A and B are shown apart, each in its own frame.
Chain A
Amino acid sequence: MAEKLRATPLLDELEKGPWPSFVTEMKKSAAKNPMANDQLGILEHSYRDKIGHWKHGGLVGVMGYGGGVIGRYSDLPEEYPECAEFHTIRVNQPAGWFYTSDVLRKLCDVWEKHGSGLTNMHGSTGDIILLGAKTEALEPVFSDLTEMGFDLGGSGSDVRTPSCCCGESRCEWACYDTMKFTHELTQHFQDELHRPAFPYKFKFKMAGCPNDCVASVARSDMSIIGTWRDNIQIDQKEVAAYVKNGLDIDADVTSRCPTGCIKWDGKALQIDNTNCVKCMHCINTMPKGLAPGKDRGATILLGAKAPIIGGALLASVLVPFYDMEDAEDIYELAEEIWDVWGEHGMNRERVGEFIQRIGLGNFLEQIGLEPEPEMVMHPRTNPYIFFELDEEG
């Protein structure tokens, strides 16, 4: 079906320049799809009057699921009738965001049949985003998606779609198999992902090493970041080759080590591994010469979030090192946390805020973990200690 495109003099400006244009993308869909065409029109409208034209909420979804669809309605339904209902469908991505051309085409076919033809590859949490479905299309999309082996992701106060870096599939620095772990975790918590029952959302992100390419420390309630405990592996010949090829090893590597534990004497590299904090810098600069140690696992951190409501948080250390041998241990830990937070957390209070409110020490006690000095930047500076009343003498 050929559509006469909505006039978009302002948006047309954004088709110029070298960066791929989202306007061009919208027009490609709009040429065939009336929903996308009205969406183009409504966006031009926003560019004209400098406000958005979407209303939030409205409970929509597929039968038996409490998440995965974000209801969206426009406030200009008469002018742009085709996108009056324009819901977002979150589709759980395959771990690591790998596709074949085949499966990508099948996804396109489903979306051509039922929706606007517009997507995000991918959304902020990691899902495939199908942008713009009418309410009546939701069940049919869902049925076609499950038929080809895909399922919805999370939304609302549930486990949000876990995501990870590509890890061992293509990165020599991965200290555990992020994709396998993420896939299994996602399968394990399908119920928690599809049926919101928490005080607020709970995100998992998995990064294979302290470079944290998925920003898990900033973006996930539970962040699992690969690391190691033994010595950095050194190939002295390759290190020497970097120097010979012009790397200024003093300026760019050793003097940048945060603990000053790495030395180059002109012939060999020496690392005082007892003082290495596994920051990755030296390894990043000489990937051929250095590699993480062999005793690998991960650090588990808790509580990152964006500002709403009580201010932004970075995640903080909960388990300094776990060998990642048994995923069950992490499932149990997560469930412990959900029990405590589920019972005592306030509505729309993320787990990080909850911990700030009750104190990390109390939280640890409730989930049954021992306090360790790795969990703090430094001990408390104020003397207002809530001594327990049964301590005497």
Chain B
Amino acid sequence: MSTPAPRKTDIGPPHYEQFLPEVIKKNYGKWKYHERPKPGVLLHVGHSGDKLWSVRAASARLMSIETLRLLADIADEFCDGHLRFTSRNNVEFLVVDESKVDPLIERLNKEGYPVGGTGPGITNIVHTQGWIHCHSAASDASGVVKSVMDELFPYYDGSKTLPAKLRIAFACCLNMCGAVHCSDIAILGVHRRAPVIKHDQLRGQCEIPSTVSACPTGAIRPTTVDGRETVEVIEEQCMFCANCYTVCPAMTLNDPVNDGLSIWVGGKVSNARSEPMFSKLAIPFLPNNPPRWPETVAAVKNIVEVYAKDARNYERVGEWIERIGWPKFFEMTEIEFTKYHIDDFKHAGETYKRSLHFRQK
């Protein structure tokens, strides 16, 4: 047996420079402008006159190494092996030879990784692990994302456009591993029942004081059940946040009937025109209906279509709603307004209407 090499630690990520194509190294910090010659393609032009075509293809985010190897082969064939991923889990092929662009698009479409996602439309949905890999998921992530994107596909491949870009995000619980709280449309998994406490396991798995203090509403109290030290939950005080579950695995929240999805609208992160804003509640609950979640798909599609018809150029969903007002939003989308839409958490009062500025019905 050979002696093991000394163990390397804290080396950090590899330096990005070794992965950059020549055209980027040469024009780094010296790009002049870009255009969108066709759906899914960005053309960047440097002050030097050099050109770079980035061809953007969809991915499921969850990818097998077989697919990564396929993408690597495609990159070798069309662009000297240079590719990158975007913050929304698309893959971009970095092409310097214009004659390769169309054949590359054709190839990617043929392999099932369609090209699109640029300009005023819909691109990949930022999402989380869901039932694939997370303990607190109130729904699956990948299945909902796949179902929604299948339906909204014409807004991805450029066959339909929108007044502005529309960013959708998905998170399967209130931990929100994706930035769903500032998305044009957010789909968020919610629990609706207080934790079921496994009294026989609690002492072995959790510390009682940290479990009690984990609850933001003070709904958890220490108690004794059958002579065992454990905790209880005052159900009326529970807002189903699952924070206790993260701290204590014996406080389980997953519920096949009462878990589901909620829809939020009108958030954005860019500073363009208006300031960044939070998404606000549109639909408090839709059932978990695998494998294709038809209620959720229909709800998202409805909002997209109403927005597409009524918004002005460059108006993001949130900007559109601010212009037309929330009453009109609920009227036009035919979404029911309920008591759940009215905030009752911290600073709730700041969201109550204080003026007589109403539009005509």
| A contact residues vs B (CB 8 Å cutoff) | 10-11, 13-14, 16-26, 28-29, 32, 36, 39, 43, 46-47, 49-57, 63-65, 72, 86, 88, 92-105, 107-108, 111-112, 117-124, 126, 131-132, 143, 146-147, 149-151, 163, 165-166, 168-172, 174, 177, 179, 183, 186-187, 190-191, 194, 210-219, 248, 251-252, 256-258, 277-281, 284-285, 287-288, 291, 306-312, 314, 347-348
Contacts and interface: CB of A to CB of B under 8 A. Distances in A.
A103 B83 CA distance: 11
B66 A28 contact: yes
Contacts of A215: 87, 179, 182, 269
B272 A146 contact: no
Main secondary structure of the interface of B (DSSP, over half): loop
Nearest to A62: B9
Nearest to B77: A101
A288 B33 contact: yes
Contact of B44 (A72, A170, A291): A170
Given A97-B84, A97-B86, A281 B273 contact: yes
B142 interface: yes
Interface in B167-217: 171, 174-182, 210, 213-214, 216
A281 to B, nearest CB: 5
Contact of A280 (B5, B272, B346): B272
A86 B71 CA distance: 26
A15 B39 CA distance: 24
Nearest to A57: B249
Interface of B: 5, 7-16, 18-20, 24, 28-29, 31-35, 44, 52, 54, 58-69, 71-73, 75-76, 81-87, 89, 91, 112-114, 126, 128, 130-137, 140, 142-143, 146-147, 149-150, 153, 156-157, 171, 174-182, 210, 213-214, 216, 241-243, 245-247, 249, 254-257, 259, 267, 269-274, 276, 278, 288, 290-292, 312-314, 345-346
A20 B112 contact: yes
A66 B128 CA distance: 23
A112 B34 CA distance: 39
A171 B290 contact: no
B271 A101 contact: no
Nearest to A12: B291
Nearest to A185: B12
Given A171-B31, A285-B314, A98 B65 contact: no
B96 to A, nearest CB: 12
B287 to A, nearest CB: 9
For the complex of A and B, 6 pairs with smallest distance between CB atoms: A17-B150, A101-B81, A306-B176, A56-B135, A101-B72, A210-B271
A187 B11 CA distance: 7
A81 B52 CA distance: 48
Contacts of B65: 29, 108, 111-112, 117-119
Given A96-B16, A103-B19, A165-B87, A172 B181 contact: no
B181 A306 contact: yes
A29 B64 contact: yes
Contacts of A14: 142-143, 146-147, 291-292
Contacts of B86: 97
A287 B292 contact: no
